[in-house]
Amino acid sequence: MTDEVSRAGRRGFLGAAALGATLAGAHGALAQAGGGAVPAATATAAGPVITRRIGRTGQTVTALGLGTFLTYDLKPGDRRDGLREVLRRYIAGGGRLIDTSPLYGSAEVSVGAFLAGTPEQPEVFVANKIWSTGEYLGDESHALASLEQSRLRIWRASIDLMQCHTLVNAPVIIPLLQAWKREGLIRHVGITHHETQAQDELARIVEGGGVDVVQTNYSIFSRSAENRLLPAAADRGVGVLVNLPLEKARLMRVVEGRPLPDFAREFGATTWAQFFLKWVMGHPAVTSVLCGTSNPDHAADNVQALRGPLPDQAMRRRMVAHMETIPGFGDVGRMPWYPGKDGMYQGLIRASQARARARLTQ
């Protein structure tokens, strides 16, 4: 899942690179827990890129990933220059994880095309998904066709992470992913969902073993993953990818036009987007936070959250308390996605949804 944000909420990001601080002390050790060496090209005066390790496998990834749901979905023939620049700025800022899916319209195609021309392509960890039920229970042919299509689109012999998308057909798909991992077709097995009510089921699967990564929604507003899922993942060395960290721009709407609190400078946040992203990154069980955009300037802003200190537990509580004083924060869950931006992201997904609505209303 992905998050776009308003221009108003991004004011001031141009100075972010100069204001980052190096990781230090006990919390710096937490932020870099298990992190491997960072390529020299990604280390700047603002400090090293924050990385996290998937405990079960030892794989190191950057703490900010690039999401592609809706934001990377265009109709065939539409210009993709802006999306290419989004990926370029994300990579240039040190990011090395991209999450996509065959269900994201044309997103998977664009990811593959852009990565093919990127010198850093071998360093990028690609997370993909399977959504398949087959013709009958236990039919794996549709899932295999999806895997082969993804391998061609992304142009990789082995996909770093394949996830059972929103737990569809999980009893069949998860064992199949485990088999693919043994056969070398994929490197990690994962499960995903973006709804809070699915977190108990995600936790149950994590507690049962057999998955390397779980993807869930988690934000400064939606914090229920802390109850069971995040502790379960931490206990078992399971990586956690977070979707909806900005609540589909709803958090940005709530703070639009408001100044950052002065204490944000203590953990290097210079914009509201960095404030919210660093809050999520600050949880030690979180491996990488997926945040997407179709705006290159927003991508450059987001990636600044990959450097400098992260808020500790006390600071994260202070951040929540501050948000609870802002009118409208408690209503975020009732707001539509991307409020005030109804015309955005008119790609294959939106066109298909419009056709379906038209049929149903005839």
At residue 41, does pLDDT exceed 90? no
Local structure of residue 34 (DSSP, 8 states): T
When mean pLDDT is compared across 146-160, 176-190, 339-353, the lowest value belongs to 339-353
Q: How confident is the model at residue 29 (pLDDT cuts 50, 70, 90)?
A: very low
Encode 78-104: b = buried (16+ Cβ within 10 Å), e = exposed: eebeebbbbbbbbbebbbbbbbbbbbb
Q: How confident is the model at residue 31 (pLDDT cuts 50, 70, 90)?
A: very low
When mean pLDDT is compared across 5-14, 219-228, 272-281, the lowest value belongs to 5-14
In the numeric block, which tokens belong to residue 355?
């056709």
Residue-level pLDDT at 46: 67
At residue 231, does pLDDT exceed 90? yes
Distance CA 263, CA 132 (A): 47
Beta-strand ranges (E) seen in the chain are 51-53, 60-62, 64-67, 97-99, 125-130, 159-164, 186-192, 213-217, 239-243, 288-290
Residue-level pLDDT at 18: 31
Distance CA 306, CA 95 (A): 8
Stronger pLDDT, 47 or 112, i.e. the higher one = 112
Q: Model confidence over 101-130: pLDDT tens digits?
A: 999 999 999 999 999 989 999 999 999 999
In the predicted model, what is the mean pLDDT of residues 28-55? 56
| Torsion angle in degrees (nearest 10) through CA of 137, 142, 144, 147 | -130
For 352, the enclosing helix (H) or strand (E) is helix 348-361
Residue-level pLDDT at 30: 34
Residue 153: partners with Cβ closer than 8 Å, 6 or more residues away: 102, 108, 109, 111, 112
Q: What is the mean pLDDT of the chain?
A: 88
Q: How confident is the model at residue 40 (pLDDT cuts 50, 70, 90)?
A: very low
Q: Residue 286 is which amino acid?
A: V
Distance CA 205, CA 228 (A): 12
Q: Can you state the angle between helices 107-116 and 81-92, rounded to 10 degrees?
A: 60
In the numeric block, which tokens belong to residue 300?
């450059």
Encode 175-213: b = buried (16+ Cβ within 10 Å), e = exposed: ebbeebbeeebbbbbbbbbeebebbeebbebbeeeebbb
When mean pLDDT is compared across 2-16, 40-54, 251-265, 277-291, the lowest value belongs to 2-16
Distance CA 229, CA 236 (A): 11
Q: Is the dihedral of CA 164, 293, 12, 91 positive or negative?
A: positive
Q: Model confidence over 299-349: pLDDT tens digits?
A: 999 999 999 999 999 999 999 999 999 999 999 999 999 887 767 888 998
Q: How confident is the model at residue 66 (pLDDT cuts 50, 70, 90)?
A: very high
At residue 92, does pLDDT exceed 90? yes
In the predicted model, what is the mean pLDDT of residues 222-229? 98
Residue-level pLDDT at 222: 98
At residue 43, does pLDDT exceed 90? no
Q: How confident is the model at residue 180 (pLDDT cuts 50, 70, 90)?
A: very high
Residue-level pLDDT at 344: 82
Residue-level pLDDT at 319: 98
